[in-house]
Amino acid sequence: MNTQIFEMEEHNIDASKLEKAGEIIRNGGLVAFPTETVYGLGANAYDDTAVKKIYGAKGRPSDNPLIVHFAEVSDIEAVAAEMPPRAHELLEKFSPGPLTVILKRNDRIGNTVTAGLDTVAVRIPVNELAREFIRRAGVPIAAPSANLSGKPSPTAPEHVINDMSGRIEAIIAGGECDVGVESTIVDMSCEPPTLLRPGGITLSELRTVLPDIVPDRHILQSVEENERPKCPGMKYKHYAPDAQVVVIEGKIENIRRKIKELIAENSGKKIGVLTVGEYSYSGAEVILSAGGGNKEYAHKLFFSLRRFDELGAELVFAEFCDDEEYGLAVRNRLYKAAGGTVIHV
Ligand code: TXA
Ligand code: MG
C-alpha cells in the first residue's frame, strides 16, 4: 500500500489535505494523526471492519480496547450510556486536553473498539490538527497510539513513518507532540473514580475535581499472569526499545555512583544512559539528556528510547529522581520500558 503523507503545521492548517484525510476515514481507511500527547492511528469508530484493520496494522492483541476521539465534549453523549455529573465536570475542566475518561457505553460503539467491554474510553484532543481532522471526518475516530505494538509511542512524524509506511492509507505529519506521553486515563464508570494511566493531566490536578480518586495499583506494579487488570493495556510490555532498559531511581548522587559501577560491570556492551539534567559517564557510548524536570522528561522519553535503538545501544540505564506531578507518568512508562527491571539506590 502506498501511504500518503499530508504535511502541515498545527497553526497553519491545510484544509484540503484534512478533507482528503477525512474522506479516507469515511471510506473505511486508516489515517495516523498528531495529538498533543502522541500520534494516533485512526479509523471510523462506527465502522467495525475499519477498526479491525487498526489491530492488523499495529499487530495489537484484540483484547486491548481503543480510545474514541471527538472534536467536542458535547459529542461524547453519542456513545455513552450515561454521563455521571462528576464525569461531565471532569471533562469540562480538562477537555480538550490530554485526558481520557472511561464511561458506560451504549450500542453505537461496536465490540471491536471496546474489545467486548461494557465501557468506552473517550477523549477530546486539544491539538488543532487532530480536532479539525475529526470534524472533517464527520465521525468519532477510534485510535490507539500509532506505533507498532510494543514499541515506544510515536511523538514525531518520522516515528510514524518508520512504523506505519506501507501499512496504512495516510499520515498527517504535523510536527512533534507537546506532552510526549499518552493521555491520563480516569475510570468514571466505577466508584471511587480510578486513575488507570498517569499522563498529561497530573493526579493533583485531578484531585481538584475528584478528591477521592484512587490510583490503580498496576500503575507501578507489574500484572501477574492470572490477573485481569481494569485497563487491558496494563498487562502488555510496552514502550520497549530493542535495547534492554534498567531504571535506577533514588537520590541523584547514589544513582550516578550505581551507574558507574554498572558501566564497569558491563564493559563489553554498547551502553546508553538517559540522564536527568546533563551528566557525562565515561564508558557509556550514547548519553541522552532527558532535561531538567519531569515535564521535559515526559516530552523526551519516547523520543530518546527510539534514539537509543537508532544509535545501537544494547543496554540503557535510565536515571529517575522524583515522583512529583509528571513524575508518576514518567515512572510508569519507564517501568514498562524496563519490563520491571528497577534498581532503588
Ligand atoms: O494519548 C492517548 O491516549 C493516545 C492518543 C492517540 O490519543 N492514545 C493511546 O491509545 O494511548 P492506546 O491504545 O495506546 O492506549 C489506550 C489504553 C490501553 O491501555 C487500553 O487498554 C485502555 O486505554 N482502554 C481503552 N478502552 C478502555 C476501557 N473501556 N476500559 C479500560 N481501559 C481502556
Ligand atoms: Mg499505545
Q: pLDDT tens digit string along 98-122?
A: 999 999 999 999 999 999 999 999 9
Tell me how far the alpha carbon of residue 41 lies from the centroid of ligand 2, in angstroms: 10
Tell me how far the alpha carbon of residue 137 lies from the centroid of ligand 1, in angstroms: 21
In the predicted model, what is the mean pLDDT of residues 209-222? 92
Burial class (CB in 10 A: 0-12, 13-18, 19+), 285: middle
pTM: 0.96
Q: How far is CA 117 from CA 3, 16, 21, 231, 237, in A?
A: 32, 37, 29, 10, 21
Nearest to 155 by CA among 291, 39, 17: 39
Atom number of ligand 1 nearest to Cα 39:
6
What's the CA gap between 263 and 270, in Å, rounded? Answer: 10
Q: Which ligand is nearest to the CA of 38?
A: 1
**Ligand 1 lining (C-beta closer than 6 Å):** 35, 37-38, 40, 64-67, 100, 102, 114, 117, 119-121, 123, 143-145, 182-183, 185, 196, 230-233
104 neighbors 189 (Cβ within 8 angstroms): yes
With bands split at pLDDT 50, 70 and 90, how would you rate the model's confidence at 236?
low
* φ, ψ for residue 5, nearest 5 deg: -110, 120
With bands split at pLDDT 50, 70 and 90, how would you rate the model's confidence at 229?
confident
The conformational region for residue 231 under phi > 0 = left, psi -120 to 50 = alpha, else beta, is beta
pLDDT beyond 70 at 210: yes
Mutate to test the pocket of ligand 1, among 100, 106, 197 (most ligand atoms within 8 A of CB): 100
Question: CB count, 10 Å around CB of 63?
Answer: 14
**C-alpha grid cell for residue 301?**
522519553
Mean pLDDT of the chain: 95
The pLDDT value given to residue 152: 93
108 neighbors 102 (Cβ within 8 angstroms): no
- pLDDT tens per residue, range 119-175: 999 999 999 999 999 999 999 999 999 999 989 999 999 999 999 999 999 999 999
